[in-house]
Amino acid sequence: MNAVDLTKSISVWSLKIKLLRVVWFLFRIVFYLPKQFSPVRLFLLRLFGAKIGKACLICADVKIWMPWNLIIGDYVAIGKGVEIYNFGKVIIGNQSLISQRSYLCTASHDYTHSHYPLIWKDIEIGSQCWIAAEVFIGPGVKIGDGSVIGARSVVTKSIPNWQVCAGNPCVIIKERIVNESML
């Protein structure tokens, strides 16, 4: 059996990225202010390199690790307490909703290597999706357009378009059909 030796673990981040993360951390205070400060949060995210569409809402206490790895479409809402651990890119399509306390995690560690190096894969959430409260989405997952992920689900595999899914592990429950007569 090989031994684990974390003393040989090295950072993959340049000094520039490390300094950007420190500066970003200092500006995060506005993320604890009430919902009405969403325009200020959007401004700061854009200032730090996030690509954000029109008419978006970022609620209080949202934690975004690397704004320069965030792409958000138009009319997207991100609820209170969402964490976006985005060492890889996180892409959220138009008119999607990420509900409170959900966790989008692009990174993990390679447990097969003795130094546990950080590894990451992008997350993509399509347009017109609803990610319900406290959902965990893991590295490399793609949520298809129009899909709904039920509360507290753990999503480790990609989900096709227009599905209603839930569970741990998350599974497809049924096709999502939008009732046009109620619109």
Domains of the chain: which residue ranges? 38-182
pLDDT in tens, 34-43: 878 899 999 9
Whether pLDDT at 6 is above 90: no
Q: What is the pTM of this model?
A: 0.92
CATH fold of 38-182 reads UDP N-Acetylglucosamine Acyltransferase; domain 1 (2.160.10)
Dihedral sign from CA coordinates of 102, 104, 107, 111: positive
Per-residue model confidence (pLDDT) at position 183: 56
Task: Quote the CA–CA distance of 7 and 136 in Å, as a whole number.
Answer: 30
Q: Which DSSP state fits 65?
A: S
Average pLDDT on 92-99 reads 98
Which is the catalytic residue, given 46, 54, 109, 157? Answer: 109
Compute the mean pLDDT over every residue in the chain, rounded to the nearest whole number: 93
* Catalytic annotation present for 109: yes
Q: Which residues pair with 86 in a beta bridge?
A: none
Q: pLDDT band for position 1 (50/70/90)? A: low
Per-residue pLDDT tens for 17-57?
989 999 998 888 888 888 788 999 999 999 999 999 999 99
Average the pLDDT over 70-99 and give the result: 98
β pairing state of 51-52 and 70-72: parallel
